[in-house]
Amino acid sequence: GAGVSQSPRYKVAKRGQDVALRCDPISGHVSLFWYQQALGQGPEFLTYFQNEAQLDKSGLPSDRFFAERPEGSVSTLKIQRTQQEDSAVYLCASSLDSVSDQPQHFGDGTRLSIL
Amino acid sequence: SQKIEQNSEALNIQEGKTATLTCNYTNYSPAYLQWYRQDPGRGPVFLLLIRENEKEKRKERLKVTFDTTLKQSLFHITASQPADSATYLCALGSGNTGKLIFGQGTTLQVKP
């Protein structure tokens, strides 16, 4: 497809389990972002990649969160030893190049529920 | 700390009227501001960009203003339609990375 694709759309996990969320950005997009969105709130920045380089991970809430983009296209956000407060929608966005004010194209997110 | 405030209450208006949404910020000097639309269960969709040296931008029925002295942006939808019902997010950016700081969003309901 032409847009940003995220999988799975829904994920339910037990507290303490590890999860991996996938993002397929628009082909050729240089920049990739991960955001976390709690119910009724705006997205909160987690991390940013330019190609395969992770240039900003200041928003990752703890060292249980890890993101990678090894070949500069698909990205994975991994959460280890999940906690209930990790329940949220995780959004991925990509933009065409590294110019900072480019529009970001969002996927529809992965809704993560931790029981 | 940086803070962005959007209309805290949902906005209900009649079809055909102009909807005006506000975005106020403190402790921040953004280089640009973007507005997004988000429908339930979907990701945000980009609408408009306005840079710090621009006062106003228009696109079809949409108009955005940016006042860096007041630290405020206004987002207008003229001749509103029920299909405009959604949550609207303002997002501020600066620096080199494209990292956006979002407001909490305003839910707009346009009644026929």
Q: Which of A56, A91, A104, A111 has the highest number of chain B CBs within 10 A, making it the mutation to test binding with B?
A: A104
Q: What is the pLDDT of residue A1?
A: 54
Q: Which residues of chain B have pLDDT under 70?
A: none
Is the CB of B89 inside 8 Å of chain A's CB atoms?
yes
Is the CB of B100 inside 8 Å of chain A's CB atoms?
yes
Rounded to 5°, angle at Cα A10 from A93 and B110: 65
Minimal C-alpha gap between B99 and chain A (Å): 7
- List CB contacts of B64: < 8 A, sequence separation 6 or more: B33, B35, B48, B50, B56, B57, B58, B73, B74, B75, B76
Average pLDDT over residues A86-110: 93
Is the CB of B95 inside 8 Å of chain A's CB atoms?
yes
Is the CB of B30 inside 8 Å of chain A's CB atoms?
no
Q: pLDDT tens, A54-97?
A: 999 999 999 999 999 999 999 999 999 999 999 999 999 999 98
Q: How many Å from the N-terminal Cα to the C-terminal Cα in chain A? A: 33
Chain B residue nearest residue A34, CA to CA: B99
